[in-house]
């Protein structure tokens, strides 16, 4: 890509505009703050506080065209096998397509399959929430424990936290992901197995962490229910693509909710992987969330690039990543309910676009996926914002805010909103030495109190955080990841980088467990660490 005419022009253009200050850009164009905005499906994006001129935007949009983004979008929505290394279509958009839609994969309309599963999930959810589904001893289900990891955990836990306001408060929801026994032990320590439903969520149903946790949860259940294996059928359900492994584990395939290999783990929160979310917020709210996703899908598919929110965000991110050399993006939601949103985005963005070779297997000659991180505001302001304001690194920020609170409490929401607006203003415009001096600051202190400004940000605004809006927001990021992946010409839908560690861990487990001293064949560091761990365990 970096050999194309537009990329080269962008490089030259960058050299010309890199020192332009946002103060100057706003002074030259009083309408900039209203002009460089875009609005779609109820989300408002202010991208005026980015270090771009109209020429930059035109070039970036040209880059998207040149990279064939339009064709890539069409290929994804059509169900082409764009995940080339796994030879699979990428059809999370089918998970939220209305019933009447047709998307054919291998001769079958997958939208019919999606709705059949959604209907089963709805029926199950209604039975659990109404108390019609009973546990083994006849008691209703009060607690739900989701066991999964990666996409089979981060989406459900993020959505549960984000939509807690809409959840059934008489039920308890816990999420277990880490193979560290502490995670499961703490999740179930105060739960009554007779009132607990365990949802084992795993696309493959072979993931070591999830299977280990599921086995231990099964034992916990049996210990609490007099060892009666018949209890498992009433207290365990599975969400998976792998019916064979589900049956092998001992879960009746009748209690399995299916999804398909054309759904990537990190794109699966609105498949059956969302069963916990549906149990928490109810089927109607879940479908409203799907509708939000779909609205953003349609916007992404049809809107011209210059008004297309995911395309604009993807391009702006690429501008900092590849031309300014920025390494990270901070995602800063000013909403406590979105506290797990940055963690969710880390898998979405970094597992998707953390790639070093292109689709053709050749090494990329430019940087790909940025490092995503963040915390809700205003908390972050009192920890890491110092670096964003006055540090030596460029950290583009995404601020996310909602005009209306879900918990109106005195002046809290005005204070919250004032802060999010103030932060982007401070980052962009800063405070000059003259302004600092004019406040009577002694000369020696002036440099310490200067804010250079010119630190870019997007602000995403919506009326309120509801299920529909959450769907729109997640889809916005999904498609902005897609936009970047298309331009970088990488496979955003595989994750080979997680394999090696898994394989090595399998080899090491018996070396740790062996009663006699094992013969170790690793490198010097790994051998020494293993011996040290074995020694420490032998004599605590």
**According to the binding rule CB under 6 A, does residue 207 interact with ligand F6P?**
yes
CB of 148 to ligand F6P, least distance (A): 6
Is 336 exposed, middle or buried, given 0-12, 13-18 or 19+ CB atoms closer than 10 A?
A: middle
| Catalytic residue (one of 19, 382, 448, 535) | 382
Q: Among 50, 83, 177, 202, which residue interacts with ligand F6P (rule: CB under 6 A)?
A: 202
Contacts with ligand F6P in 113-152 (CB under 6 A)?
149-152
Return the closest-CA partner of residue 178 out of 224, 142, 216: 216
* Of residues 303-362, those binding ligand F6P (CB under 6 A): 351
C-alpha span between 118 and 142 (Å, rounded): 22
Tell me if 376 contacts ligand F6P by CB under 6 A.
no
Pairing mode, strands 371-373 and 457-462: unpaired
The minimum distance between CB 395 and ligand F6P, in angstroms, equals 26
User: Interface with ligand F6P includes 484 (CB under 6 A)?
Assistant: no
Are residues 251 and 229 in contact, defined by beta-carbon separation less than 8 angstroms? no
Nearer to ligand F6P, 241 or 459 (CB): 241
Q: Which two tokens stand for residue 328?
A: 């990270």
Nearer to ligand F6P, 205 or 286 (CB): 205
Q: Which is nearer to ligand F6P, 141 or 200 (CB)?
A: 200
Q: Is 204 in the site for ligand F6P (CB under 6 A)?
A: yes
Would you give the binding string for ligand F6P spanning residues 249-288, x where CB under 6 A is met?
Answer: ----------------xx----------------------
Q: To which residue do tokens 């297997």 refer? A: 361
Distance CA 491, CA 495 (A): 9
Longest dimension (CA), the chain: 78
- What stretch of H or E contains 314? helix 309-319
Pick the closer one to ligand F6P by CB: 207 or 368.
207
Residues with Cβ within 8 Å of 208's Cβ and at least 6 positions away in sequence, in order, are: 179, 502, 505, 506
490 touches 357 (CB < 8 A)? yes
Applying CB under 6 A, does 199 fall inside the site for ligand F6P? no
- For strand 104-105 and strand 108-109, is the pairing parallel, antiparallel, or unpaired? antiparallel
Residue nearest to ligand F6P (CB): 265
Segment near ligand F6P (CB under 6 A); pick from 184-192, 201-209, 420-428, 452-460: 201-209
Catalytic residue among 258, 351, 375, 468: 351
In the complex, least distance from residue 478 CB atom to ligand F6P, rounded to whole angstroms:
14
Active site residue 382: yes
Which of the following is catalytic: 8, 248, 412, 502? Answer: 502
Q: How far is the CB of 24 from ligand F6P (least distance, A)?
A: 44
Cα 390-396-401 angle, rounded to 5 deg: 105
Residue in 251, 211, 218 with CA at minimum distance from that of residue 506: 211
> What's the Rg (C-alpha) of the chain?
25
92 is catalytic: no
For residue 400, report the phi and psi dihedrals to the nearest 5 degrees: -125, 130
Round to whole Å and give the CA distance between 256 and 1. 44
439 is a catalytic site residue: no
How many other β-carbons are positioned within 10 Å of the β-carbon of residue 139?
A: 15
Which residues within the stretch 145-164 sit at the binding site for ligand F6P (CB under 6 A)? 149-152
Least separation in angstroms between CB 179 and ligand F6P: 12
Distance in Å, CB of 502 to ligand F6P, minimum? 8
| Contacts of 408 by beta carbon, 8 Å cutoff, 6+ apart | none
Looking at 202-210, 293-301, 420-428, 434-442, which segment touches ligand F6P (CB under 6 A)?
Answer: 202-210
> Is 369 an interacting residue with respect to ligand F6P (CB under 6 A)?
no
Angle at 226 between CA 146 and CA 199, to 5 degrees: 10
Is position 210 an interface residue for ligand F6P (rule: CB under 6 A)?
yes
Nearer to ligand F6P, 124 or 344 (CB): 344
Q: Which stretch binds ligand F6P (CB under 6 A): 200-208, 214-222, 298-306, 426-434?
A: 200-208
Q: With CA atoms as reference, report the closest residue to 479 among 52, 186, 76.
A: 76
**In the complex, minimum distance from the CB of residue 441 to ligand F6P, in angstroms, rounded to a whole number:** 50
The DSSP bridge partners found for residue 240 are: 258
CA distance 47 to 431: 21
What residues are annotated to the active site? 351, 382, 502
Residue ranges that bind ligand F6P, judged by CB under 6 A: 149-152, 202-204, 207, 210, 265-266, 351, 495, 498
């Amino acid at each position: 890509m970096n050999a194309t005419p537009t990329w080269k022009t962008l490089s030259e253009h960058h050299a010309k505009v890199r020192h332009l200050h946002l103060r100057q850009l706003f002074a030259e164009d009083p309408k900039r703050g209203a002009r460089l905005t875009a609005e779609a499906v109820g989300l408002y994006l202010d991208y005026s506080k980015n270090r771009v001129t109209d020429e930059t935007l035109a070039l970036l949009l040209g880059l998207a065209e040149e990279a064939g983004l339009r064709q890539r979008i069409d290929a994804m929505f059509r169900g082409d096998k764009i995940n080339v290394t796994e030879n699979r279509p990428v059809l999370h958009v089918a998970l939220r397509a209305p019933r009447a839609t047709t998307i054919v994969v291998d001769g079958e309309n997958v939208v019919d399959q999606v709705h059949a599963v959604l209907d089963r999930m709805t029926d199950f959810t209604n039975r659990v929430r109404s108390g019609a589904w009973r546990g083994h001893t006849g008691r209703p289900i009060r607690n739900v424990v989701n066991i999964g990891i990666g996409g089979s955990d981060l989406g459900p836990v993020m959505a549960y936290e984000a939509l807690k306001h809409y959840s059934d408060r008489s039920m308890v929801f816990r999420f277990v992901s880490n193979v560290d026994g502490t995670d499961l032990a703490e999740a179930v320590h105060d739960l009554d197995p007779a009132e607990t439903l365990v949802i084992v969520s795993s696309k493959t149903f072979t993931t070591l962490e999830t299977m280990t946790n599921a086995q231990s949860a099964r034992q916990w259940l049996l210990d609490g229910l007099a060892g009666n294996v018949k209890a498992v059928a009433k207290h365990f359900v599975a969400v998976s693509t792998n019916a064979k492994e589900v049956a092998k584990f001992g879960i009746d395939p009748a209690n399995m909710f299916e999804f398909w290999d054309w759904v990537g783990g990190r794109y699966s929160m609105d498949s059956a992987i969302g069963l916990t979310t549906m149990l928490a917020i109810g089927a109607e709210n879940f479908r409203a969330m799907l509708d939000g996703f779909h609205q953003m899908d349609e916007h992404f598919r049809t809107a011209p690039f210059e008004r297309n929110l995911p395309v604009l965000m993807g391009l702006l991110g690429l501008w900092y990543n590849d031309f300014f050399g920025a390494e990270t993006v901070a995602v800063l939601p000013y909403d406590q309910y979105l506290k797990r949103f940055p963690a969710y985005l880390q898998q979405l963005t970094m597992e998707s676009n953390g790639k070093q070779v292109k689709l053709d297997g050749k090494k990329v000659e430019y940087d790909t996926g940025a490092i995503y991180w963040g915390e809700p505001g205003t908390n972050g302001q009192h920890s890491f914002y110092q670096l964003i304001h006055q540090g030596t690194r460029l950290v583009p920020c995404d601020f996310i805010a909602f005009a209306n609170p879900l918990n109106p409490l005195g002046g809290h929401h005005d204070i919250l909103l004032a802060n999010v607006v103030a932060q982007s203003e401070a980052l962009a415009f800063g405070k000059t030495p003259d302004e600092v001096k004019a406040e009577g600051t002694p000369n020696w202190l002036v440099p310490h109190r200067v804010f250079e400004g010119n630190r870019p940000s997007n602000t995403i605004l919506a009326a309120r955080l509801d299920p529909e809006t959450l769907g729109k927001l997640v889809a916005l990021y999904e498609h902005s990841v897609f936009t970047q992946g298309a331009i970088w010409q990488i496979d955003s839908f595989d994750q080979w980088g997680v394999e090696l560690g898994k394989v090595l861990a399998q080899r090491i487990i018996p070396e740790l467990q062996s009663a006699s001293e094992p013969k170790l064949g690793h490198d010097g560091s790994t051998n020494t660490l293993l011996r040290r761990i074995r020694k420490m365990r032998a004599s605590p």
